Amino acid sequence: MAGTSPAMTKPTDSFMLERLLTPCQPVRPIILNHMLNHSSLDLAFQALADPTRRAIVARLSLGPASVKEIAGPLPMSLPAVMQHLALLETSGLVASEKRGRVRTCRIEPSRISDCERWFSARRREWESRLDRLEACLREETNHET
């Protein structure tokens, strides 16, 4: 055959190429609706993209804390911490209330649960894909022997 390498003319290689191009099971059509209306998730992930805000969320996961307690171990000014907290509140990850002169912050479990559900769904999808790949490879190995 002109223009083809001898390696591609072996039946096992063409079978393998066909298997790579043809999924073992029908592939679900891509549905983009699950990607719509996730602006709250976008805000949450954007907030968690910063290491300082992740540190604040980690601290608040231990329990409610005043702004002063949160700012204490952080290497920045109190106004900078307040900006981070404002963004966390906007994202819905943190809620705060002011009593007298003390503002107390707490984690917002429902938003954390939303993020966790999103990650769990992605994990299930990828585990399913990897299981199908494993089955295809196992079938390919059995076919070659």
Domain architecture of the chain: domains with CATH: 38-144 (1.10.10.10)
- pLDDT tens per residue across span 24-39: 555 454 445 544 455 7
* Distance, CA of 49 to CA of 88 (rounded, Å): 11
pLDDT value at residue 18: 55
Kindly give the parts of the chain with pLDDT less than 50.
1, 5-11, 16-17, 20, 27, 29-31, 34-36
pLDDT value at residue 1: 47
pLDDT value at residue 10: 44
What 3-state class would DSSP assign to 38? coil
Query: DSSP label at 107?
Result: E
